[in-house]
Structure 1
Amino acid sequence: MCIGFASRYAFRETRERFSQTYKAVEKKENDRVCLDIRVARISRTSNTYLQNLIYVIFISSQPGKKT
């Protein structure tokens, strides 16, 4: 699963903090794919930026909320 791979290498500390996010995203195939693509593109960025972006992606991918 791509999320597990990305979390291990791109944001190890962040994985614990966003474990609930991963659980929720893993239940939704479309959101998971979207997250995987964006994580792959920004894997070289700083950890703080990555944390903020993952949070924004998760919030914006909720049903009924559009940005």
Structure 2
Amino acid sequence: MPPPAGTSRQRAAKDVVDVLNEISTLLHTGLDRTTLSLCVSLIENGVNPEALANVIKDLRREAQALEETDGH
């Protein structure tokens, strides 16, 4: 008896996140598995990947600026 369809889809999704996590680690993106999963979900739902990347970069810059401000 084959596994339920939902199970194979979940396994495929996990495999994709595993590969993306490996690539993310190799490229030193600083994105964890949860963040990668959220990004994939957003892109699958129509978010422009370049716009998403720009938002992530902007958020990182803002976080860095806040850390520098709080540190002084």
For the superposition of Structure 1 and Structure 2, which TM-score range results when normalised by the shorter chain?
A: 0.3 to 0.5
The TM-score, its normalising length taken from structure 2, stands at: 0.36
Q: Structure 1 or 2: larger helix share?
A: 2
The TM-score, its normalising length taken from structure 1, stands at: 0.37
Higher relative contact order (CA 8 A, sep 6+): 1
